[in-house]
Amino acid sequence: MSILRTPGGKRGRGRPRAGEDSARDAIVSAAEAEFAEHGYDGATMRGIAARAGVDAAAIHHHFGTKADLFTTVVDFPVRPDKALEEILAGPVDEIGVRLVTYLLVALEDKPTRRKAVSMVRTSLGNRAATPLLAGFLEREVIRKVAARIDGEDVDLRASLVGSQIGGLLIARYVLKLPALAKAPVDEVAARVGAAVQTYLAG
């Protein structure tokens, strides 16, 4: 399912009209330029609207939030930020296992996995792309986890949660370390969940 075709859940699956197509293209091009110039945090919906020659409401209509627009532009195959909203509403001690389970289950699907691997390769291999991914993860994932946990050094501990989950995805799907690449989702999720729990509990 392409995020582009169901932005923010506000559009159906029908073929868009020609005028909407060109407005969307203009917004995507403007967003690419704005994100490249100002980074994820620095980019604004108003700046993107000005570049595209549309008003900000048109962007919200076509794409939803800044996170929705960014993940469309960079073609994210999964939405950890969306999944997180629901996961964070549950018990803190299940954040790790639930987030890992969500990602691993999503990546069981081969086209999704291929897209995710490609995105990781590009983001880490390309000096310009890395800070964009980092900015998105920091703002939309890490800080939300940090806001949900108690105790000291919540930002550091949330960053370490991210480091383990990112490292897991790279080791399993990019490096394909044999024992990890073939382990069942529930076993990996249980073990990684327990490790991540040490960060969540502080």
Q: How far is the CB of 58 from a second copy (least distance, A)?
A: 32
Do 49 and 58 form a contact (C-beta atoms < 8 A)?
yes
Contact between 100 and a second copy by CB under 8 A: the answer reads no
Do 155 and 98 form a contact (C-beta atoms < 8 A)?
no
> Cα 173 vs. chain centroid, distance in angstroms?
17
> Contacts with a second copy: how many residues (CB under 8 A)?
49
Q: Which residue is listed with tokens 């990546």?
A: 107
Tell how many helices (H) and how many strands (E) occur in the chain.
12, 0
- Nearest CB to a second copy, comparing residues 49 and 161: 161
Do 200 and 92 form a contact (C-beta atoms < 8 A)?
yes
- Nearest CB to a second copy, comparing residues 150 and 187: 187
Q: For a second copy, which residue of 25, 55, 130, 147 counts as binding (CB under 8 A)?
A: 130
Pairwise CA distance, residues 85 & 90, whole Å: 9
Contact between 175 and a second copy by CB under 8 A: the answer reads yes
Using CB under 8 A as the criterion, which residues of the chain lie in contact with a second copy when the complex forms?
120-122, 124-127, 130-131, 133-134, 137-138, 142, 146, 153, 155-160, 162-168, 170-172, 174-180, 183, 187-188, 191-192, 194-196, 198-199
